[in-house]
Amino acid sequence: MYASIRDALGDEIFFSLYGDWRAAQAGEIRSNCTSDERAVFVATADGAPVGFVSIWLNAFFERLGVIDIIGVSPEHQRQGIAERLTEVALEHMHKHGMTVASVETGGDPGHAPARALYERTGFKLLPIARYFRTLP
């Protein structure tokens, strides 16, 4: 995923934004999974975690549920785990009175499987253009 973003932005912008992207991603996941404002569900296989979804209720707007992060370990991708986690997230949102669900993902080639999943599960795309450049 990050390789695709790096290809799209180029090294200068990518490293300005992400620096040590592995540490940044680990911190973001840790923050989401330990936040009192988020619900987290974990997928397991053979007793080991293989994926998770972090959900924020009443985010930005009343009765809006947001899938903050959804991730599946590389060796378990393309097995329906992300789709099941998405379904669990939507069920959780509905159960807690949310009327709209939202999720964001990248428009780069590395995020194509995520976009296909969200479209397959009924999400509607709101095209947004986000531009980046370095500053002198």
Give the per-residue pLDDT at 1: 63
Q: Are strands 100-103 and 64-72 parallel, antiparallel or unpaired?
A: parallel
Give the per-residue pLDDT at 133: 85
Distance from C-alpha of 128 to C-alpha of 117, rounded to nearest angstrom: 19
Q: For the chain, which domains are there?
A: 35-120 (3.40.630.30)
Q: Tokens 């007793």 label which residue?
A: 47
Task: Annotate 17-30 with DSSP letters as a single string.
Answer: HHSSHHHHHHHHHH
65-110 pLDDT per residue, tens: 999 999 999 999 999 999 999 999 999 999 999 999 999 998 888 8
Residue scoring higher pLDDT (42 or 26): 42
pTM comes to: 0.82
Task: Annotate 54-97 with DSSP letters as a single string.
Answer: EEESS-SSTTEEEEEEEEE-GGGTTSSHHHHHHHHHHHHHHHTT
pLDDT bin (cut points 50, 70, 90) of residue 23 is confident
How many contiguous H segments (helices) and E segments (strands) does the chain have? 5, 4
Mean pLDDT of the chain: 91
List the beta bridge partners of residue 25. none
Q: What is the DSSP letter of 37?
A: T
